[in-house]
Structure 1
Amino acid sequence: MNFIYLGAAATLVGVPAGLAMTDANSQNVMTVSLAFFLAGLVLAARRWPRTVLIISVLTVAAWRSAALVGAGWVWPATAAAVLTVLAGHVRTAVLTSAVVLTYGLSWDYATTQHSTDWVFAHLGGETLWVSAALAVAIAWRNNQGWQELQLGRRRAEERVEIARDLHDVVSHTLAVVGVHLNVALDAFDDDPDEARASLRLAQQVRGRAMNDLKSLVGVLREGELPSLAGLERLCDQVRAAGLPVTLNEFGDAVEVPAPVATAVFRVVQEALTNTVRHAGATRATVTVRYAPDGVLVDVRDDGRGADQVTDGHGIAGMRERVAALGGALTAGPGGQGFVVCASIPLTNP
């Protein structure tokens, strides 16, 4: 809408000024009347851009042919042509301008007393003006289209990130709750107190998961991201499930960008979830090293390390998340258990 008003104002001011400079015999009443008529048409360009353009150029051509104005074939309708391009009708704007300029060249050549050089000079200048205006409009529209494509790509990436985060939160919670439920089931007959305690812990983990999901909704609504301060609470959840976890952090995490912090948190979460669900481990160690140029994450356990690693959704998601930040992730047997190692630069190359 702002372009409509800007085009109308430019027409209202520019047409009389332009005709005064290019036509020494211009009549003020005619030029002002033409300016008001073309400006009024521009106001309707938002709904009928092509119709406004055609009526505008036909009006200018009629006034020019009738000698009501002594200069201009297309340029008084520049605003209508530009708005037509911005509305997506590039071909209409270009072809209409070309046809009218060709007609104007023929008319001036056949009816005026000026020399051929004068005719070509005036029409050439007008052609350059209209071509430049259309070129700028096309470039601006293409740039807007590119930005929309980029916005669509970012939204698609955000949806992938949301899917990963939901998978991480839900799978981690189900894994921990599953451990507690298994303990409660085994102890239900022999040790009711232990069964109740396990069910109580499962309920607590469920409550924490609900908070995590609320935080994820906060990410969607406010753009907030998980904090590295949550690593200790994450490890506490796994410890409550019966797996001792040691968290070692070295360096300063203050300068870690939010996307890297999110990736570190999710890598640790997914690795510990896999350990609880599949490894049969008795302990796990999480090491995070913060350096000026990147973050190194190392999660290892003493469980069963598979000889061949198959990328499930979890490992593939970790690898894609890290790769998107310019880093690399490896996952496989190491020493007496399974090792997940990720290196993430602080600046995306």
Structure 2
Amino acid sequence: MAPRKTVTLKDIAAAANVSRAAAARALNGYGYVGAATAERVIEIAAQLGYRGNRVAQALRGGQLPLVGFVPGDIQNPFFAQIAHDIDAQLRQSRQSLLIASSAESVAQERDLIESFRALNVRGVIVAPAASPTRPHLEALLHEGVPLVLIDRAVEGLPCDCVSVDNAGGARAAVGCLIAAGHRRVAVIHDDQRIVTARDRLAGYAGALADHGIALDARLIAVAQSTVAQATEATIRLFRQPDPPTALFTLDSLMTKGALLGLRALGLSVPRDVSLVGFDDFDLATFTEPQITVVAQPVAQIGPLAVRMLLERMRGSTEPPRHVQLPTRLIRRGSVAPPGGGAAATDSAC
């Protein structure tokens, strides 16, 4: 037997001698359509066995429990862990998660937010990409869609936010290297589009200033947050005539790249170079020596953002909250005094 042909809205409209728009209004119960016309359309739809797209109808009516999440880069372990935690937390409240990465592109973030708005999502969690203005996020709030920012606050945007003390964490990391005797501390960072990078670079500069060390532009390398670019930036830094003795990296992908770059140059950690990275990651405890890192409370960020969002979805009218979580310096074996020697003790940092 041949498969039964699916009855479409076009078929119903043709049989009832009305436009597809009129047929859609009659079947979905929105807009104006005459009573007699509506009755005829519904009767013909029943006769032909029309089922309609119940999912599409539910989406239009905002009846599906959907929440959108826009991370900066889903390949970054930091955002991957947060996405996992957000999904697990939402499932407990019978909400479904839609995830789409902005790849740190403002244009892509804007398009994703527009798509979420078209799907009538019940709330959105965003790690905003860099931009001086946020009309697409403001549009969400104007329409009453709950919005929570993670990792990055946006000045002047009246919504809840969960971030960490990036400047303080970076200050502690560089302070650890300085306490071990280093005066030529290099840093690898991105182009400061992202507020977290700006804050971490400010913490680096603040630690130098705390100890009376002048900022040296030759010790600051710019690279995108990828292993390949961080590897190249590390090689550039340490091929200089007067190379640094220590290195601070601004995220886990850059730390991995730094390790590869140092290995390519034949430099050993911490005998030749001391290293501290922002963000803990699995490889940090599998290397020899293990890498000293600034750890973010990643496990707290996703669940807290979901709790804030659910409260707004349930009608909370409390003033916007900005929760800044503390970081923690985890001392391992990648810091030693300049010129080699035993790894720095905890007290040295």
Greater share of residues in helix? 1
TM-score > 0.5 by shorter chain: no
How does the TM-score come out when normalised to structure 1? Answer: 0.32
How does the TM-score come out when normalised to structure 2? Answer: 0.32
